[in-house]
């Protein structure tokens, strides 16, 4: 059974939100909400999994920190929404194995999906959304937009009867440009390669044409030739 363990108001760079800590057994989640008294079909929900290195230490290997800020901005603009923060490091493998996956990527010069496979995991995403489902039901959200490019996340919620619609976070070219600016002007190569792996290998829904164009611009800024029109090697 899910429990409300504590609540308060949280003032952020994106405005003030109602903060609630939910618990179920040994699981815990943080939930930031705004404007849920008048829930409408425009209500926005983001389910975010913890990423210590991206959120706290500024890792440029992922877009997790940007996802948080972008989601809260969109909820603030919509005036109604919930941000659900789950403690599921490394897409569900935990902090220790996440570091091991980093080491495998560096040693084998491979992407995150290949690293999970080398470590013997059955999937590149082992997260569970049961707690998030219970929270959404307790909030009585009705129809809502889920901020995600992950169809697996949408399917997990739809399968239990929630009325969810997908809204991708990287829809327009400007979204990619804002993400890159968020990294502080550093070389975005590692981040862009990560996004490409998410799109190509994990089926994450994003504007592929915009991503390809941003990758071409990044190569040009490094003085690398554009070989995107040469096709695949025979």
Instruction: Give me the catalytic one of 34, 46, 127, 205.
Output: 127
Cβ proximity of 207 and 167 under 8 Å: no
Cβ proximity of 170 and 207 under 8 Å: yes
How many residues in the chain? 234
Helix (H, G, I), strand (E, B) or coil at 4: strand
Distance separating alpha carbons of residues 92 and 157, to the nearest angstrom: 17
Instruction: Give me the catalytic one of 63, 125, 150, 205.
Output: 125
CB atoms within 10 A of CB 112: 24
Q: What is the DSSP string of 5-33?
A: EEEEEEEETTEEEEEEEEEETTEEEEEEE
Clarify whether 46 is annotated catalytic: no
Clarify whether 127 is annotated catalytic: yes
Distance separating alpha carbons of residues 194 and 62, to the nearest angstrom: 6
Distance separating alpha carbons of residues 142 and 164, to the nearest angstrom: 8
Closest C-alpha among 10, 73, 59 to residue 184: 59
Closest C-alpha among 202, 212, 204 to residue 112: 202
Compute the radius of gyration of the chain from its Cα atoms: 19
Q: Which residues are catalytic?
A: 125, 127
């Amino acid at each position: 059974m899910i429990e409300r363990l504590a609540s308060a108001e949280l003032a952020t760079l994106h405005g003030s939100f109602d903060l609630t800590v939910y618990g179920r057994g040994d699981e815990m989640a943080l939930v930031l909400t705004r404007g849920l008294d008048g829930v409408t079909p425009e209500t926005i929900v983001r389910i975010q999994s913890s990423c210590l290195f991206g959120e706290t230490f500024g890792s440029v290997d992922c877009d997790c920190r940007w996802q948080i800020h972008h989601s809260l901005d969109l909820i603030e603009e919509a005036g109604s929404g919930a941000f659900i923060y789950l403690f599921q490091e490394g897409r569900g493998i935990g902090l220790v194995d996440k570091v091991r996956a980093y080491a495998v990527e560096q040693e084998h010069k491979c992407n995150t999906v290949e690293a999970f496979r080398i470590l013997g995991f059955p999937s590149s995403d082992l997260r569970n959304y049961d707690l998030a489902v219970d929270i959404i039901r307790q909030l009585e959200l009705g129809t809502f937009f889920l901020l995600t490019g992950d169809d697996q996340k949408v399917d997990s919620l739809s399968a239990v009867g929630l009325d969810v619609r997908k809204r991708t976070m990287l829809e327009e070219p400007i979204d990619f440009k804002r993400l890159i600016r968020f990294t502080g002007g550093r070389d975005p190569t590692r981040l862009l390669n990560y996004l490409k792996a998410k799109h190509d290998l994990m089926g994450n829904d994003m504007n592929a044409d915009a991503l390809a164009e941003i990758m071409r611009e990044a190569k040009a800024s490094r003085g690398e030739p554009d070989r995107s029109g040469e096709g695949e090697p025979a």
